[in-house]
Amino acid sequence: MTIAEETEKTIVNIPQDLIETKKSVEKSMDTIITTLKTKKNLWFVGCGDSYFVGIYGVYLFEALTPISAYAEESHEILYRQKFSNDDCLIAISASGATAKTVDALRYAKKKGITTIALTNSENSVLAREADFCIITRARGKGAPTSTSVCAMYALTILAQDLAKEAEIEIPERVIKTIEKIPSLVGNVINMSREFAKTVSEKIADYDVIYLTGAGPCYASALFGAAKLRELAYLHSIAFEAEEFCHYPFLSLTSNDVVIIVASNGKSSERILKLLNALETLKVNTILIADRKFVSSVNIKPKITIELPEVPEFLAPIINVIPLQLLAVEVAKRKGIRDSVFRYANILFDLIGYYI
């Protein structure tokens, strides 16, 4: 079976994986919440998709909790010298064995910082060495998809429970959305299939694909670029929306493709201006956004998918799904039949894993 086929099967199972993840996370939540109540700063570290999960975590915890949150790539945290007893580090790795993420956790422990592992492998070195552990229950193989969504969901549950413990009032809409995440993801999987096939026909033969988003949706754009590279070997580049406006925009022509990931919220006005500018240049633009945002667009891109509306800081759990399915469809259209990742030996040597 190809990586793309394995990944597609895994995506289909995400709703059930989310349900099992919630059961698992709730088992370890009380002691972790008790610890986090005493902290002022929370550091998320990870590599690749796990780092993108951390970016999501920053917006989530800033929105719901009293704690200040930051995301760093695992290797970069090793340069940080100034920590305090008010700090806590969450090391994110699906395998629990990513070398630099394990190094980051060990570095934090040497600095006397409380550490939490967020991993899909309860027998991993990360889980063994962390002070506390949150275990997700993603199944399946292929490119990281379910592991990322389950990790985001685990952080969502953690943030919600921390907010409740801190007696911070959470809007009813947010509570209901979090409760419905598994079913929302299931609905989005179904509604994204045709979209993914349509877009794959358009972009499979392109040399470069740009993706952009602002706020939490920047994490979504990063996830999308990673999947298009991993599964379809497509030269995809993700930019934060403001950064995209400053210099990538200068190289665009009407032959280029830009995928915009958006959600109704603080970033709406900026993304609307960007959409208008892309329309002026006649750039091939594809929009992934919630219904409320789409309704505010004057001239909709020809290819647009309207997703269920959720609070902006929760949007990546939803809008990453069509991007994952798109990568699968592009790989199929390009006829990629690889059953293992290209350059696997070199890649794994560069990344490194602990056992």
Summarised one tens digit per residue, pLDDT across range 143-170 is 899 999 999 999 999 999 999 999 999 9
| pLDDT reported for residue 269 | 95
Q: Model confidence over 51-108: pLDDT tens digits?
A: 999 999 999 999 999 999 999 999 999 998 889 999 999 999 999 999 999 999 999 9
Q: Which residues of 202-240 are buried (b: 16+ CB within 10 A; e: fewer)?
A: bbbebeebbbbbbbbbbbbbbbbbbbbbbbbebebebbb
Distances (CA, A) of 292 to 131, 263, 308: 42, 8, 9
Report pTM. Answer: 0.97
pLDDT at 150: 98
N-terminal to C-terminal alpha carbon distance within the chain: 27
Q: Look up residue 337 and give its two tokens.
A: 């039949």
* Calpha distance 65→26 (Å, rounded): 18
Rg of the chain over CA atoms, in angstroms?
Answer: 20
Name the CATH code of domain 3-170 (choices 3.90.1150.10, 3.40.640.10, 3.40.50.970, 3.40.50.10490): 3.40.50.10490
- The helix (H) or strand (E) run that includes residue 146 is helix 146-165
Strand 208-213 with 235-240, pairing: parallel
Please state, in angstroms and as integers, the Cα–Cα distance from residue 269 to each residue in 200, 295, 296, following that order: 28, 13, 10
Topology of domain 186-333 in CATH is Rossmann fold (3.40.50)
How many whole angstroms separate alpha carbon 151 and alpha carbon 136?
A: 6
The enclosing H or E element of 274 equals: helix 268-281
Flag whether pLDDT at 177 surpasses 90. Answer: yes
Q: What is the spatial distance between Cα 150 and Cα 22, in angstroms, rounded to a whole number?
A: 9
State whether residue 271 is helix, strand or coil. helix
Burial zone of 251 (CB within 10 Å; 0-12 exposed, 13-18 middle, 19+ buried): exposed
Which pairing describes strands 257-262 and 235-240: parallel, antiparallel, or unpaired? unpaired
Task: Extract the tokens encoding 139.
Answer: 């199944």
Looking at the DSSP assignment, which residues form a beta bridge with residue 132? 116
If we measure between CA atoms, which residue out of 273, 215, 225 comes closest to residue 245? 273
Residue for token digits 């350059």?
343
- For residues 152, 156, 157, 161, the Cα torsion angle rounded to the nearest 10 degrees is 150
Q: What are the start and end residues of each CATH 3.40.50.10490 domain in the chain?
A: 3-170, 186-333
- pLDDT over threshold 90, residue 140: no
Percent of the chain exceeding pLDDT 90 equals 92
pLDDT beyond 90 at 355: no
